[in-house]
Every structure is written in structure tokens, then in C-alpha cells.
Chain A
């Protein structure tokens, strides 16, 4: 039953991905700017640019380019990067893991902290715990991450000398980027938890629970929170997807070799094959995360019918 559901959902992804591939291809090719000139270089002559365009197949009509791109894609060939001449699959693979681990380490702490703040705020409505929790959350959402990143570098790397400024060669180098990246996520989750839990705490079953003498902890953590989780899980899934796309700002500030800094590099170089592959990957990631989120709904609330 569950297996059938999952395979059905995965089969449904294929036509969606096809449509996305067309959109992405058109979108990428319609950005003004000629990659041949950028590949040939700043001081190249017209002839050289023409030669490069010919070699890269950029003089073909766009539908022909799309067909040959898709042909390659079905054979698992994502093409070669225009900028470096390396296979795109290799380029993306080398950048995926740093982004993935950074995402995991940011999500891990921000989920815990966000939930805690949210629950404490909701159960202590209008008290000092609520004020400080929400003050922190609003600051976390409003603070530009490049500014927070540079501030953390200034304090922990330059003044105190405890942590490295950049790179991803040790566990210490994960700390500052994941604080920077996770702050917004924690803040968003805290706000969602607070409002969702406050709504649930008004429900009848909570009153029933209290009436039959359950401890307040058990009411909140055991019953109310579980029922309040659906919107929180949805939001966390979205955040997870965004982070997996690589944060351009945080990766640039911490010189992190991930997908975000690769994307910005590729766009400014008009590296079509790399941009296309990255955008397709992001779309796929989101679709898979949505699937997982849907499955979690079923676990949290068995009344939600997966079919």
C-alpha cells in the first residue's frame, strides 16, 4: 500500500521534470549574454569568439540544442562545463556534499532550538519568556545573513581566534556557517511553532486532557504539539529544500565550496550546462522533500489519507 503510493508519486515526477527541463532550458538560454564571448575571454578577437561558438554548438537553433541536451541527459550525460571543460556531473557532485553537510548541521540545531523557543513562547504567552523568544525570532528573521556572518567572523575568528574564517576542512569550520544559516530557519520555525501550538491549545481535546488530570507537560508535549506539527513539518521541509539549494550569501562569505557559490559563478559566466543541471537538481530535491513531508503527515495524523 505504502510502497504503491510511493512508486506512484515517483512515476508522477517524470512528466513534471520534463516540463521543468524545457522551462529551465529556455530560461537559461534567454538570459542576455553570449557564453562564447565569456569563454573566449576578455581580450579575444571576433574570429576566436565565432570559433568557440561553433565548437560549443551555440549556433544551432535552440530546439536542436534542447534535443541534443535531452538525448545526453537520458544517457546520464549532463554535458561539459563551458567554464572549466569538466563534466557537469563531476562539477556538481564535488559541490553537493559540502552543501549537504552544511544543510544537515544547520537544520539539526535550528529545529531543536526553534521548536523549544516556539513551545516555551506559546505556553508562556505574554510573559517575559514569550517576549524574549519572539524578540529573538524577529531579529533572526530580519538580520541579513551576510551581516551576521561577517559579525561572527569578526568576533570568533578575528577577536577571539577560536574558529576559522573559511574553508570546510575541519568540524570547527562548520560552526560559524551553520549558525549563520540556521538562525533564520530557527526563527521561522519558532514563530510557526508558537502560533500553531497556541491554536491547538484552544482545542477541545486539550481541555479534555487537562480535565482528566494529565500533567501540563504531557498535555503540551505529548498531545498538543503532535497535533500542531503539520504546518511546522511543511515549513521545515521548505526550509530544508532552500538550504539544499545552497545559500549563495553564506557560501560566499565563508568561502564554502558548495552549490550556491557554484550557481552564482555559473550564472555570471553563462555556463549553461551547469546552471541547467543545478536548477533541475533543485527542482528534484523539492519534489522529493514534498513527498517525504506528505508521508510524514500520515505518520503524524493517521486521519490524513495518502490516496
Chain B
């Protein structure tokens, strides 16, 4: 149709123009790098935080995503909470006592604290909240953390007693969990289930508005009980699911803090446009479970061979872009009662030798299930490559969340087709129990009941796990969990991969906003440095 010669000349000149144009923009970018090293400036006293997903609920008792929990933290507080290093610290509680049989917890409460709606914080408010959580009829997503509560009793205005059905060693951790936050009893009465859209707590900020999919705003609570806090007037959370756009918001200053920062861009944006990137070890463990009810993984030598056959350092470099550490126990170092084990060093000879001893001198074929997002895919492909070197032929089966729940959690243990599973876990109570029992706690934890995707069942380990829950004495629990971790490590139900890092980015005028090891956000100490 067109004259070919003309088209060619036209296209060629356009390409030349494009090259010239991109050349110009490149040079202006390099100029930018040199001139923007100083402190970025900020007008006003409001902050915007861009996050990667939409918020789901503002009812702490009915929330199971970390992100909604992070936003709730600006408005709500619990009797206990977590410090920067994931240690349990009292917040609304002043002191507590545990009876010798581990069944009765008595809490002294702090005085003179009010909820945003004027209701006062006292023993009755605590009772209303714990009763709400403990009652299965309320169908709250976090009921399981409080299912062991038998009754709650108001002793006097600022003393409350909680009785348990049976001893539960990690109870204080459960109270410190984001689900243990206290909602105003007045608001609970007024809104019922609708409290999820009308949050009222004792925190430094009070709720202003929530436009789902767009933003949620909280403002300074003037009667906050800690003097001098909060130091920010208004805090806005903006869901920005696209990685590139979230990073762009930080660059332009539309957002003052963003998380997560995609690892691919972390190094590239750090130190430019007044941006600081922070990466810190989390309590998220990355593992590959091997179904120990199935051949060949029912042989511990095979499981160990797989562990020896994966180069963890290279895994971190390639898959995690350097943001991770080799996993050296079943739980991460910042989980309580962690005890370090000796990492299975990368050793191809040893791996091959073990496979030979197990009767698989030429390796075998197997499948690996996991999520279909690009990060999981990259991890699984890396493992596929590594295991090919010891003759194990891995077929990757990526699945989207809904499909995965169908394939794994709707199937009986004996019928499952699962062979290997690439997963991650964040024990949200920060306690060893929640990091081990749901994942490796014997038959009771097999899917569909729970998350034991390794179908790992060692009677000795299961007994120790249950024993460790029956006592609230830290030194006894420490001993038991050390033993448990050692036994599991030797049984190698997983290929132990990494401890993930949390990566966040902020403008350098901002201080006091940080991610906790459980991946949640703390804004209590936020301030703008002028």
C-alpha cells in the first residue's frame, strides 16, 4: 500500500530521533544524581505512607492480614505489644502475675487512659474485649488465639483476671499479637460488627475517613496518654499495588514512606532524591517442604541430600538480590526461643553420595508446588536448576492462591498429590509455638487441618511441642524448644532456605517509622526533622 522506500526513510528518521531523545534524558538523569544528595525538605506536618495492597478491615479481632493490622496499630493498643526487636513489652497493662498452675493470669492496668470516644479504659473494657474474642459464636477470625480462655473477671476498676481452660505457655504473646488490641466497649455496643468501619481505640491517632481502594486517614488524638506523642498531625495510607508507581510516589514526595520496596529497585533508589532504603531481618522463614509420607521423601537421606544440594548463598544473591540470610533453624532468630543449628553446607558430593545410599544413584523425578507471583517463580526455578545438578528432575507447578488452597487444603493427607511445596511463614505471635506447631506439629497439623505441608510426624517432637505449651516458665520452655529444633533439624522435613528481609523506603527528613520483624509497621514515634 505504502511506498516502501518512503516508509523506510520515515521509520529510520524516527528511530534516530528516539535514540537522540533517550540520550538526552539519560544525561539529565546523571546530572540529577549528583545534585540530590542532601536532606529532602518537607512542608507541613502530615505524612503519607504508600502500601502494596488494599486494606480489608479495621476490626483488630477480625483481621488476618498484616497490612490492615499495621494501620490498626495507629488507632489501637493492646495490653501488651512488641518492641522493635520483637520482645513482648507492656502497653496498656502495667504489671501481671501468673498462678503457679499456669491457669490464672492477673493483670494490673494503667490508669487515666481514655478511648477516642471518651469511654475510659478499665478492667471492664478489657473483659468486654477478651469475652468477645473468646466466644466462638462471634465468628471472629482471631478467635483461635483466645479459644483457651475459660472466663474473664473484673476484680476492681484496674485489675482483671483471666482464667484458662488449660495452661497455655504463649498466652502473653497472644495478648501482644495485633488481634489482642482493645476496642472501645462503647463503640462495640454502638456499631456491633460494623466496628470494622468505625474503629475506636486508645492509640495516638483517631480515625478520620476510609475510602476503600483509595486511602485511609487518621488524625492526631489530643488526649493521648503518652505526653508529647504523637508528633504528626495527620497520617494517610494509600494502597499502591504497582511496584513502579509506589517507588515513583516516594521519589516525587507524594509518599514519605513506602513498603515493601521491590528488591530489584532497592539499591538503585537508595541515596537519591533524599531517599533512604532500609533492609532488616524479619521473622519470615522461607522453606521447601518435602512430603515425608511419599517416596522418595520418606527417606531422611533423600531429604538431607536435597538440603546439601542447594546453595543458600547463591539463592540469596540470585532470588533475594542479597536481601536475606540462610535459615539456621526452623524459626528465625528474632522469634522467641530460637536456637541456632548448623546449616547444611552446599556440598554436591555429599548430596550425590546420600542419594546413592538411599537407592537413587541416578536421581528421580518430582514436582514442586508454589505461588505464581514472580518472586516465588524465581525461587522455584533456582531450586530446579540446583537440584538438576544432583540428578533430581523438578517440574515446577505454579498456582494462584485460590487454586493452591483447593489442591492442598481440600485434600486428605493420604490422597494428596503434593510432593514438594515452596512456602513461607511468619509466626505472627512472635513465639516459637506458632512458628513450629502449625507447620510441623505432627498429624494434628496435616492439611486440611493446618499447615504441615511436609506431612512430618515425629511422635517425640509432637509430644515435646505439646509439653512446651503446658508450662508458662520461660526457662523450661527454652529447654524444650531447643530440643525440638534440634530434632526437627536432623529429620530435615524441609529444605531450609532463608530468613527474609523487610525492605522499606523513606525520605530522609522522616524519623521513627519502621517495620517490625513480623512485617508490620510502627508509626508511634514518627516525626519530621526540619
Contact = CB atoms under 8 A, between A and B. Distances in A.
A128 B14 CA distance: 13
Nearest to B55: A84
A265 B401 CA distance: 12
B139 A165 contact: no
A95 B141 CA distance: 26
Contacts of A131: 2, 6-7, 10
B197 A86 contact: yes
Interface string B233-247: 000001111101100
Interface residues of B, number: 57
Interface string A58-70: 0000000000000
Given A48-B143, A126-B2, A32 B406 contact: yes
B111 interface: no
Interface in B494-512: none
Contacts of B346: none
Interface stretch (B96-104, B211-219, B281-289): B211-219
A81 to B, nearest CB: 10
A4 interface: no
Given A94-B212, A159-B25, A84 B254 contact: no
Looking at B65, B409, B428, which has the most chain A CB atoms within 10 Å of its CB?
Answer: B409
A126 B2 CA distance: 6
Contact of B402 (A155, A258, A261, A268): A268
A165 B241 CA distance: 12
A257 B212 contact: yes
A122 B317 CA distance: 56
A33 to B, nearest CB: 2
Chain A: interface residue count, which band?
35 or more
Interface in B387-424: 400-403, 405-407, 409-410
B401 A44 contact: no
B64 A43 contact: yes
Contacts of A84: 56-57, 196, 212
Contacts of A35: 402
Contact of A153 (B245, B400, B409): B245
A45 B144 contact: yes
A153 B451 CA distance: 42
Contacts of B1: 126
A40 B238 CA distance: 25
Contacts of A241: none
Given A33-B406, A43-B438, A255 B242 contact: yes
Given A38-B405, A85-B196, A255 B450 contact: no
B248 A44 contact: no
A281 interface: no
B193 interface: yes
Contacts of A39: 141
B2 to A, nearest CB: 6
Given A45-B450, A262-B213, A38 B242 contact: no
B402 A126 contact: no
A41 B141 CA distance: 7
B249 interface: yes
B245 to A, nearest CB: 6
Contact of B406 (A34, A55, A154, A262): A34
A159 to B, nearest CB: 7
B3 interface: yes
B402 A33 contact: yes
The 6 closest A-B pairs by CB, nearest first: A33-B402, A41-B64, A257-B213, A46-B449, A257-B214, A37-B405
Interface of A: 31-35, 37-49, 51-52, 55, 83-86, 91, 94-95, 126, 128, 130-132, 135, 146, 150, 153-155, 157-159, 161, 164-168, 252-255, 257-258, 261-262, 265, 268, 270
18 contacts: A39-B141, A41-B64, A44-B64, A44-B144, A45-B144, A45-B450, A46-B409, A49-B448, A83-B56, A85-B57, A126-B1, A128-B10, A146-B242, A158-B251, A167-B254, A253-B244, A255-B239, A265-B54
